[in-house]
Structure 1
Amino acid sequence: MMQESGEPFEHYPLVDAMDHEILMHRDAHFGGLFSVMLDYYKGEGKGIQPDFTIERIERLAALEAEMKENLAALFFTALEAQKVADARAAYQNLRSIYEIQNQQNRFPRLIADLILSEDEEAEKEVNAIVAEKDKIVPLLVECLGNEQFYDPIFPGYGLLPSLIVKCLGKIGDKRAIISLFEALGQGDFFADDQILRALKAIGDPAKAFLLKVVCGKPLNEDNERAAIGLLAFKENPEVANTCFNLLKNEDIQKRPCLSTYLALACIGLQDEHLRQEFRQMVTQPQLNAMLKEDMKGIIHSWDQPDQ
């Protein structure tokens, strides 16, 4: 842990994983210079990591100045050094795209523009990609499957997937369905809401795919992922009816996440008999408490005057 203010730096043991992350971030994105990194963080740039405080960066900078040695050279493991080298190589590859004169294929440059954009929403870059319509979809899908783009150490700060999803949603090409499906529930690199909007924009082909997968056996992660995806179509009676039929299955009820997503997709039930059956299900003792609460929330929404 960091020493209290006033203690000599030579007694400072850099053992905190956070310090290693800060150094990797500095070397990957800011040329190994704390001064550049601090300017970026003080300016609240797009790629700042919320766990990295300015105070912590400044203390590392002061430690490096006191020791008169590059902290990365002192403390990086071989794997960390290689990861930073890979990130720098990725930046070099992007720069090389701009050095090519009279490019016949403009798509790589459009993707590079999107990656390097410091605009959080990257509206200009997104619109340029969307203007290419279905022709650029294969490259977008390829980028969405590239694990490097989910990592904040690499170009794009781990934010590219959310922008790619945004592009795919605006284009609305069904070839993106499987890639969007596989991206569901992958964590904080981009919100599932963005993926749901993209799936909804694709429309019936996406809905049909998700309905087929959610009914698949044996039960696995794909069923859960499909149930998440169907929330994009939760107002659709066909989706609601299918999800309710699945929710009646006791094996599914034993899976907290899957059953919860299916229940949330039941909000689109229109048939009063099915709604009454849904209400009665809440009283079943075997249902877990969280599922019951979610189901009660849906019932409450039905009972509102505008429903």
Structure 2
Amino acid sequence: MTADILSAINTLSRPLSEAVDNAQSSHQQAVLAGLRSNRVLLLDQLQTDSSFQEVRRLRDEVMTAAEWFSGDTEDAAWGFVQECLLLLLTLARHLSIELEVFRRSRAPSAANFHTPEMAPPLPPDVLSVTQQRTLRAALQFVVSLGLCPYLAPGVGVPLGRRSAFGAMVEKLVRGGAVSAGGCRLLITTNVLLQLTELSSLATLVFTQHLGDVMAALCQLGYQPHWAERGGSEEEETQELCAEERQTCREALRGLLGKVYQPIIIKELLILQGGSKQ
């Protein structure tokens, strides 16, 4: 079933150029069309392909438990991010179940029957290079569309400084419903942290996006209140409550204590910025 879930993730995160081929449309329109096309293709695959029956069942369970999920959103980019988050959580839940079964099935006495020539069985959360590449693509979409665009100016490394495509995506998302940015940033960050509870997924998240997660937690936990920064009344309704802010602060402290310290220092230096070379 792991392969089926990753196949669904691959369908959703396939290159957008494969979904849209229209030279007359603008880059932003082409990206939006590609996101919609991939999402529609995934949902159709889940509904019609019998081999994805178990994937659909587990995804529906995750969706039911996800209070943040909104199936009727008109924002194509956020709708796409939500599907990515659902499938990533589906994979994490499946791997957690498989790991629990794996640990229970390995009786303590079984080690006595191993010989030096016998390799121990691999745990079910070990992913192939191709599977890791698929997950990296999905995580890149999630961070680019569901995290970085909602960071405040001066927090984190802007997408526009990473690539030309990042600059276009940044404008694309900011042209949508910015008022919900705080909630969306919290949702994306929380899901990424849930994924890191599995060591195999934590490696993928922290290898590429540790700085982005740290930047999001810094903003969510320590951003001044809307009145202090001269925000609007609409921003007040979207502001995090004290409990949510405290949870983000604790998550940041836990992250700083869990990850290898030289890597943390490197990411903090990048987040603080420096002189242009």
Greater Rg by CA:
1
Q: TM-score, normalised by structure 1?
A: 0.30
Of Structure 1 and Structure 2, which has the larger fraction of its residues in helix? 2
Q: TM-score, normalised by structure 2?
A: 0.32
Higher RCO structure, 1 or 2 (CA under 8 Å, sep 6+): 2
